[in-house]
Structure 1
Amino acid sequence: MAGSLAGSGGDKRFPPTLNGDPESPCTRAYQAYVAATGHSAYATTPYSRVVSLHILCGARLNAPSQEMAEELAMKSCLATRDHYKVTNGGACEIAASK
């Protein structure tokens, strides 16, 4: 039986950019991802000084599988982009999953 995944950064594909504000929604989402005990994923728009005006994110915690967590985190990030009508700043990508 597998142990808890709590505290694990999981498989990082790129380092997520966090603004340092502990109350920022993306900072809170990433901290919740790391603290999650089950399969989880964190998706964000990669930061580029040249083109990024916004950093958006989405997460899915404690999903039945890592694959499902990634799929739902992407949907969450894309829904955030649609909600704020962001058209620049890069596409959502999975930054980390476990």
Structure 2
Amino acid sequence: MAYNAYVAAGGHSAYATTPYARIRSLYIICGSGLNAPSQKAAEERAMKSCESARSHYKVITGAGCEVAASK
């Protein structure tokens, strides 16, 4: 859902996710920053959204969030 919103957004937007390894990961956590004033701001919003979701769901993965796509 977050990725589809990222693709549909017209302005500066970014999509962040936790790394996925089929052997170790049963799920991924993601977040997006849409229509921000700059690409950097969009990336910061996406990272904050992803980290917030990890905290909310108390998910412990091998690595933290990373920006997967940005425009």
TM over 0.5: yes
Is residue 71 of structure 2 the alignment partner of residue 93 of structure 1?
no
TM-score normalised by L of structure 2: 0.93
Q: Give distance in 1, aligned partners of 2:30 and 2:36.
A: 17
Determine which structure has more spread, i.e. the larger CA radius of gyration.
Answer: 1
Tell me how large the CA RMSD over aligned residues is: 1.0
Query: Distance between the aligned counterparts of 2:21 and 2:7, measured in 1?
Result: 24
> What count of residue pairs does the alignment treat as equivalent?
71
What TM-score does the superposition give when structure 1 sets the normalisation length? Answer: 0.68
Matches within 5 A, 1:1-98: 28-98=1-71
- Write 1 or 2 for the structure with the bigger share of strand: 2
Identity of aligned residues (%): 69
Aligned to 1:32, the other structure's residue is in SS state: helix
Deviating beyond 2 angstroms after TM superposition, the runs of 4 or more aligned structure 1 residues are: none
